[in-house]
Chains A and B, each alone.
Chain A
Amino acid sequence: MSAHISSVKTYFTVFLCLMAGTALTVWAAFHDFGALSNVVALGIAITKATLVILFFMHVRYSTRMTGLVVLSGALWLFFLFALTLADYLTRVFVPVQAAAGM
C-alpha cells in the first residue's frame, strides 16, 4: 500500500483547529479555573499534539506499528511521571525550609 496522500484541505482544516487551540489556551490562561487550570491547559495541548500526530504526521493512515510506537512513547512518559510523582505527592516533607527557600 503506498503511503496515503492527504488533501490540502485536510491540512488547512487541521491548521485552523491548531490556531483555535492556541487562542483558546491563551484565553483560558487569563481566567481563573482554580485547580482545573492545569487540566485545561494540558488538555488543550494534548488535543493539539494529537491533531499534529494524526494528520500532519500521517499516523492516522499509516501501519498499526507506527501508532504502537507513539503510544509506547507516551506510556513510558506516563511511567516516569506517575511513579516519580507518587513519591513527591505522598512525601511528608519536613523541609529545613530556610536553607531550601532562601
Chain B
Amino acid sequence: MSSEAAVAEAPHNTHRVHYLNANYGVRSWLLTKDHKRIGILYAISMTFFFAIGGIMAALIRLELATPAGDLVQPDTYNRLFTMHGIMMVFFFLIPSVPATLGNFLIPLMIGAKDLAFPKLNLASWYIFNIGGAITLYALLHGGVDTGWTFYAPYSTSFSNTWVVVTGVGIFITGFASILTGLNFIVTIHRMRAPGMTWFRMPLFVWSHYATSLIMILGTPVVAITILMLAGERLFHIGIFDPAYGGDPVLFQHLFWFYSHPAVYIMILPSMGVVSELVAAFARKRVFGYGFVAFSSLAIAVLGFLVWAHHMFIAGVSVYAALVFSILTMLVAVPSAIKVFNWTATLYKGSVSWETPMLYALGFIGLFTIGGLTGVMLGTLGIDLHVTDTYFVVAHFHYVMVGGVIMGYLGGLHYWWPKITGRMYPVFWSKLAALIVFIGFNLTFFPQFLLGYLGMPRRYHAYPPEFQVLNVMSSAGATVLAVGYILPLFYFAWSMRYGKPAGENPWGAVGLEWETSSPPPPENFEVMPVVVGEAYDYGKKAYSFPKQEAKLG
C-alpha cells in the first residue's frame, strides 16, 4: 500500500493533477499536510496493528478449542488476551473510521480545502505511531498480563510485566485521538462551505462531530488515570492499592469514565457510514434526518453518564447501581431511533445490493443484536449472572466486530473509488462480505450460550461441558479470518488493474461526489456553494458559481 507512488496512471486522466500524483517520493508522503494523504497513512499503520491483534485472536481461539490449557502457558495466554484487547481497542477500533475515512472525507463533504489545523493532523499520525511503537516494544519484551482494563491492585502491585511502558504507549496514542477530535470540531464549526448549514451537512459529519466531543472530553481522563497507575506502581502512593489505604474501585470508576464513552467513539463513526450507505443505496433522503443527527449528539452526551454499569458487582453501592442502570436504559434509546430510521429509509426507496450496502444491512442486523444484549447487561438482575462471562465477550464483539468493523469495511468499499479512482471486483467483494457475515455469527453467537452457562472471561482452561460451543466459536474464527484477508487482495489488485471510477460511480448525492476521483489537492477545482438540502436526489443541491472561469 505504501508504494503509492507506483500507482499506474489511468490513461484518461494523465493530464489532471490529483492528490496522489501532485508530488511523489517518500518525503512527500511522510511530511504531507494533505488530510487525504494523512487518512491513507493512518489506514496503513492501523491495518498493521489490526493484523497483530488478529494473530493474537487466532491464538486465543486455538487455545480455547480444548478444555485443558495445552497450547500455551497460562501466563502466555494472559498476555495474549491482554495485548489482543489493547491492540484492537486503542490502536485499531478507536481510530478506525475517524482517522481514515473521517480525515479523508470531512473536508470534502463540507466543501473545505483542508482540515483547520493540517500540521496538527500530521502530528496526530506521528503521535499515534510513536505510541504504537512503544506498546510494540513492550509487547516484544513480554507485553502485559493485566487485561486491557489494567484493574488495580493486580496492575499496581502484583503484576511484574511491562505495565508502565504499555501505559505510556497508550497515554501518547491518546493525544493522537485528542488532536483528531479537536481538528474535526473546529473544521465543522468554522470551515463549512457557504450555504452549508448544520442541517444540510451529511450525517457522516454529524456522527464525527459527536465522536470528536467524546474524544476531547473523555480521553484526558484515561490519560491521567494511566499516570496515576504508573505513579502508584512506582511510588506506592496508595491511590489504588488497598494495602496502602487506597480503593481499587476508584481506579475502575476513572477507567470506565473514559472507556465506556470510548465504545461510543468506536460505534458512532460507523453509524455515520451506515447512514451514508443506506441513503446512497436506497437513493433516498435518510428517514427522520433531524432525529438521526440529534441521536448522535444524545449518544455522545448520555454516553458519559453510564460507565458504572461495568461495575455492578465490583463493590459500588446498590443505590449508585440503580442510578447507572436507569441511565443505561436512556442511552439505548438514541441507538434504537437510528436503527428504526435506517429501516424506514428503505421504504419506497430504490435499494441496490452493491457490496457497501451488504455491509450496511449486515451492520443494522448485528448492531441490533449487540445493542439489545447490551441493554440486557444493563439490567441489574441479569447483569448479576452474566457480567464477566462470555455473554459480555459476545455482546461487545457483536457491537465492535459486527458493528464497527462492518461499518468500516462498508465505508472502505463505498469510498474506495473516490480514494483511488479505481473500482474493485464486484463478485469477490460480495463473497468476502458474505464470508465475514457467516464467520462472525458462527464465532460469537455460541459465546452467548457459553456466557449464560457461566463460563468466565479470561479462562484458558474450562470445564469440559463447555467444549462443543468453544469448538464452534474457534471454527467460526477461522472463517472470519478468511473473510478479512480477502479484501487485502482485491483492493491491492484494484489499485493497478481496477476499472477507472468516474466522479460518481454509485450515482450518490454528496459534495464528495461532485469532485473528481481521486480529488485534486485542494479538493475542488472551484469552491462549491450549497443551495439544496442533504441527500436530495430530486434536484441539484450544489452549485459552483465560478463554473465558467475555470481556474488554472
A contacting B, Cβ–Cβ less than 8 Å:
yes
Contact between A90 and B217 (Cβ–Cβ < 8 Å)? no
Residues of chain B contacted by A83 (CB below 8 angstroms): 305, 307-308, 320, 323-324
Instruction: Answer yes or no: A7 CB below 8 A from chain B CBs.
Output: no
Contact between B253 and A87 (Cβ–Cβ < 8 Å)? yes
Residues of chain A contacted by B217 (CB below 8 angstroms): 72-73, 76
Contact between B317 and A91 (Cβ–Cβ < 8 Å)? yes
Contacts of B311-339 to chain A: CB distance below 8 A: 315-320, 323-324
Question: What residue of chain A has the Cβ atom nearest to residue B244's Cβ?
Answer: A100
Contact between A86 and B245 (Cβ–Cβ < 8 Å)? no
Number of interface residues of B (CB under 8 A): 23
Question: What residue of chain B has the Cβ atom nearest to residue A83's Cβ?
Answer: B305
**When each residue 532-546 of chain B gets 1 if its CB lies under 8 Å from chain A and 0 otherwise, what string results?**
000000000000000
Interchain CA distance A13-B249 in the complex, whole Å: 46
Residues of chain A contacted by B304 (CB below 8 angstroms): 76, 79
Instruction: Answer yes or no: B551 CB below 8 A from chain A CBs.
Output: no
Interchain CA distance A71-B6 in the complex, whole Å: 50
Instruction: Answer yes or no: B391 CB below 8 A from chain A CBs.
Output: no
> Min CB distance, A72 to chain B, in Å?
7
Quick one: given A80-B221, A83-B305, A83-B324, are A99 and B242 in contact (CB under 8 Å)? yes
**When each residue 69-102 of chain A gets 1 if its CB lies under 8 Å from chain B and 0 otherwise, what string results?**
0001100100110011011101110000001110
Instruction: Answer yes or no: A65 CB below 8 A from chain B CBs.
Output: yes
> Min CB distance, A70 to chain B, in Å?
13
> Min CB distance, B447 to chain A, in Å?
30
Contact between B242 and A100 (Cβ–Cβ < 8 Å)? yes
Residues of chain B contacted by A100 (CB below 8 angstroms): 242, 245
Contact between A79 and B305 (Cβ–Cβ < 8 Å)? yes
Number of interface residues of A (CB under 8 A): 17
Which of A72, A79, A87, A99 has a CB less than 8 Å from the CB of B316?
Answer: A87
A-B contact count (CB 8 A): 43
Question: What residue of chain A has the Cβ atom nearest to residue B238's Cβ?
Answer: A100
Instruction: Answer yes or no: B140 CB below 8 A from chain A CBs.
Output: no
Quick one: given A83-B305, A83-B324, A87-B308, are A65 and B317 in contact (CB under 8 Å)? no
Instruction: Answer yes or no: B243 CB below 8 A from chain A CBs.
Output: yes
> Min CB distance, B192 to chain A, in Å?
13
> Min CB distance, B169 to chain A, in Å?
25
Residues of chain B contacted by A90 (CB below 8 angstroms): 317-320
Question: What residue of chain A has the Cβ atom nearest to residue B306's Cβ?
Answer: A83
Contact between A86 and B243 (Cβ–Cβ < 8 Å)? no
Residues of chain A contacted by B315 (CB below 8 angstroms): 91
Contact between A84 and B253 (Cβ–Cβ < 8 Å)? yes
**When each residue 203-239 of chain B gets 1 if its CB lies under 8 Å from chain A and 0 otherwise, what string results?**
0000000000100010001000000000000000000
Contact between A80 and B257 (Cβ–Cβ < 8 Å)? yes
Quick one: given A76-B217, A76-B304, A79-B304, are A86 and B320 in contact (CB under 8 Å)? yes
Residues of chain B contacted by A88 (CB below 8 angstroms): 317
**When each residue 23-39 of chain A gets 1 if its CB lies under 8 Å from chain B and 0 otherwise, what string results?**
00000000000000000
Interchain CA distance A90-B318 in the complex, whole Å: 8
Residues of chain A contacted by B308 (CB below 8 angstroms): 83, 87
> Min CB distance, B139 to chain A, in Å?
31
> Min CB distance, A57 to chain B, in Å?
18
Question: What residue of chain B has the Cβ atom nearest to residue A96's Cβ?
Answer: B242
Instruction: Answer yes or no: B189 CB below 8 A from chain A CBs.
Output: yes
Residues of chain B contacted by A91 (CB below 8 angstroms): 315-317, 320
Interchain CA distance A100-B54 in the complex, whole Å: 42
Residues of chain B contacted by A80 (CB below 8 angstroms): 221, 257
Residues of chain A contacted by B320 (CB below 8 angstroms): 83, 86-87, 90-91
Residues of chain A contacted by B316 (CB below 8 angstroms): 87, 91
Which of B189, B213, B317 has a CB less than 8 Å from the CB of A92?
Answer: B317
Contacts of A31-49 to chain B: CB distance below 8 A: none
Quick one: given A87-B317, A91-B316, are A99 and B257 in contact (CB under 8 Å)? no
Interchain CA distance A51-B318 in the complex, whole Å: 40
> Min CB distance, A87 to chain B, in Å?
4
Residues of chain A contacted by B323 (CB below 8 angstroms): 83, 86
Interchain CA distance A72-B214 in the complex, whole Å: 11
Interchain CA distance A91-B217 in the complex, whole Å: 27
Question: What residue of chain B has the Cβ atom nearest to residue A82's Cβ?
Answer: B305
Interchain CA distance A94-B304 in the complex, whole Å: 29
> Min CB distance, A88 to chain B, in Å?
8
Question: What residue of chain A has the Cβ atom nearest to residue B316's Cβ?
Answer: A87
Question: What residue of chain B has the Cβ atom nearest to residue A73's Cβ?
Answer: B217
Question: What residue of chain A has the Cβ atom nearest to residue B245's Cβ?
Answer: A100
Interchain CA distance A83-B213 in the complex, whole Å: 19
Of residues A72, A84, A87, A91, which shows the largest number of chain B Cβ atoms within 10 Å of its Cβ?
A87
- Across the A-B interface, the 4 shortest Cβ-Cβ residue pairs: A87-B320, A91-B317, A90-B319, A90-B317
Interface residues of B (CB under 8 A from A): 189, 213, 217, 221, 242-243, 245, 249-250, 253, 257, 304-305, 307-308, 315-320, 323-324
Interface pairs (7), CB distance under 8 Å: A72-B217, A73-B217, A83-B320, A86-B320, A87-B320, A88-B317, A91-B316
Q: Besides A80-B221, A83-B320, 14 other CB < 8 A contacts?
A: A76-B304, A79-B304, A83-B307, A83-B308, A83-B323, A84-B250, A84-B257, A86-B320, A87-B317, A88-B317, A90-B318, A99-B242, A100-B242, A100-B245
